[in-house]
């Protein structure tokens, strides 16, 4: 039992060191580290959960063009949360920007949103457009949606 506790302490200690490195790099302007720091702050496993600080770092990372930060923050704006007021236009804009930067997750989300009319007017043309991009980058969920729609080349 003692070995297990020692392992957990070492693992947590290593995680705290990584957290300190993320924070240092984030404070020096590294967009990816800002995103990683925000993820750690949202999860609350290594440090106390702090969604307000997490959103702060997500916004900074997104403003520097980090695609994953744009996707994550875009979803927060679409759904609204305890630390982020719902803003549909801002959320869609961020997902579109992430899509343009090559974030497959954004392409898939936009495709599904337009396919089902979730938070947007249903539009099969746009749904297929976004889903094709995600599928071309290897996303199996997008490919599955395109197969169900009977899109040529996805059967």
Among the three residues 71, 94, 117, which one is the final residue of a domain in this structure?
A: 94
17 and 74, same domain (yes or no): yes
50 and 4, same domain (yes or no): yes
- Look at residue 6 in the predicted model and tell me its pLDDT: 41
| Separation of alpha carbons 38 and 97, rounded Å | 19
Q: Are 107 and 67 in contact (CB under 8 A)?
A: no
- Look at residue 10 in the predicted model and tell me its pLDDT: 40
- Look at residue 126 in the predicted model and tell me its pLDDT: 97
Q: Domain limits at 42?
A: 1-94
pLDDT band at 37 (very low <50, low <70, confident <90, very high): very high
pLDDT band at 15 (very low <50, low <70, confident <90, very high): confident
108 and 155, same domain (yes or no): yes
116 and 152, same domain (yes or no): yes
- Look at residue 5 in the predicted model and tell me its pLDDT: 39
This prediction has a pTM of 0.83
Domain containing 39 — which CATH number?
Answer: 1.25.40.10
Phi, psi of 81 (to 5 degrees): -155, -175
* pLDDT digit string, tens, across residues 95-135: 999 999 999 999 999 999 999 999 899 999 999 999 999 99
- Name the CA dihedral angle for 72, 74, 80, 83, rounded to a multiple of 10 degrees: 60
1 and 77, same domain (yes or no): yes
- Look at residue 13 in the predicted model and tell me its pLDDT: 52
* pLDDT digit string, tens, across residues 45-83: 888 999 999 999 999 999 999 999 999 999 999 999 877
Q: With left for phi above 0 and alpha for psi between -120 and 50, is residue 153 left, alpha or beta?
A: left
- Look at residue 17 in the predicted model and tell me its pLDDT: 81
Among the three residues 72, 94, 116, which one is the final residue of a domain in this structure?
A: 94
């Amino acid at each position: 039992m003692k070995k297990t506790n020692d392992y957990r302490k070492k693992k947590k200690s290593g995680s705290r060191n990584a957290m300190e490195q993320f924070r240092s790099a984030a404070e020096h302007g590294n967009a990816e580290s800002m995103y990683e720091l925000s993820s750690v702050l949202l999860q609350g496993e290594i440090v106390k959960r702090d969604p307000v600080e997490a959103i702060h770092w997500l916004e900074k990372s997104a403003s520097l063009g980090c695609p994953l930060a744009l996707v994550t923050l875009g979803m927060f704006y679409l759904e609204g949360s305890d630390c982020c007021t719902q803003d549909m236009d801002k959320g869609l804009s961020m997902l579109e920007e992430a899509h343009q930067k090559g974030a497959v997750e954004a392409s898939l989300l936009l495709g599904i949103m337009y396919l089902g009319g979730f938070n947007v007017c249903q539009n099969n043309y746009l749904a297929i457009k976004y889903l094709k991009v995600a599928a071309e980058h290897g996303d199996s969920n997008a490919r599955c949606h395109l197969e169900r729609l009977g899109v040529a080349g996805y059967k």
